[in-house]
Amino acid sequence: MVSASFAFSWRRVVFINWPVEAELLASHLPGPFAVHTYDGTGWLTIVPFVNAETRPLGVPRRLGVDLPELNLRTYVVHDSDPGVYFFSLDAPSVLAVLGARFTHCLPYYYAQMSVDNGTNGIRFRSRRRHPGSRPASYDATYRPTGSSFTAGPDSLSGFLTDRHRLYTQSQNGDIRYTDIEHESWTLYDARVETTENALFQANGFDHPDTEPVCYYSPSIEVTTTPSKHWERTAQE
């Protein structure tokens, strides 16, 4: 499997987080992964944002492309190392979707998307168009509220946002991971108004009956490593 390091600016990011029973999440995860909980509770998170200036590491920023993205994720532990596990990721580029599926084994889907700044905030719309996939439409408007803050190391906001590894599982069952490098997030509390959300249903979940905890960040610079095959020696 050929992979590469990438650089991005993640912009107009909102983390919409629902507390969910850990046992429910565990039933949706591959066997090698355990649910990572905060005070005994698991979490499901929807993240709409823009991958700005997307490019292979070392390529000039001006040659990067802007790609909106929408994902549904949870938090896991594998061999004592925490990370993110994605149930689905939507993007409006066939090339990006195919590339991420092939090089990172990530469950990307092609979707039509728009991101617009309005008087009520940032409106993010997505409609999945991937052949053979379940329908997954999303329409929400979000904006920051209050003053900015940096998440503390043991805080809920840190648990939900400060993640430096993503895990995937290939079709042959191999565990793969990608490390993510970035500085601390500049966060705000966020107000989110959702008019359509089929992501939970598309991934086999009922919509949580809990209220979400929401955080917004204007931007952060990110680099990712190539996808790597997990081996115990890699962790020692």
pLDDT, tens only, 193-217: 999 999 999 999 999 999 999 999 9
Residue 209 lies in a domain: yes
How many other CB atoms are found less than 10 A from the CB of residue 228? 14
How many other CB atoms are found less than 10 A from the CB of residue 62? 7
Residue 2's SS3 state is: coil
Residue 62 lies in a domain: yes
pLDDT at 232: 55
Residue 123's SS3 state is: strand
Predicted TM-score of the model (pTM): 0.95
pLDDT at 153: 86
pLDDT, tens only, 216-234: 999 999 999 999 998 754 4
- The parent domain of residue 43 ranges over 6-235
The CATH number of residue 187's host domain is 2.40.400.10
Residue 1 lies in a domain: no
Mean pLDDT for all residues in the chain: 94
> Percent of the chain scored above 90 by pLDDT?
90
- How far is residue 163 from each of residues 62, 130, 148, 166, 176, measured CA to CA in Å? 27, 28, 19, 8, 16
pLDDT at 2: 60
Domain count, the chain: 1
Mean pLDDT value of segment 176-182: 96
CA distance 17 to 15: 6
- The C-alpha torsion from 3 through 221 and 46 to 133, rounded to 10°, is -30
pLDDT at 103: 87
The amino acid that residue 94 corresponds to is V
CA distance 103 to 16: 27
CA distance 174 to 181: 23
Residue 79 lies in a domain: yes
Residue 127 lies in a domain: yes
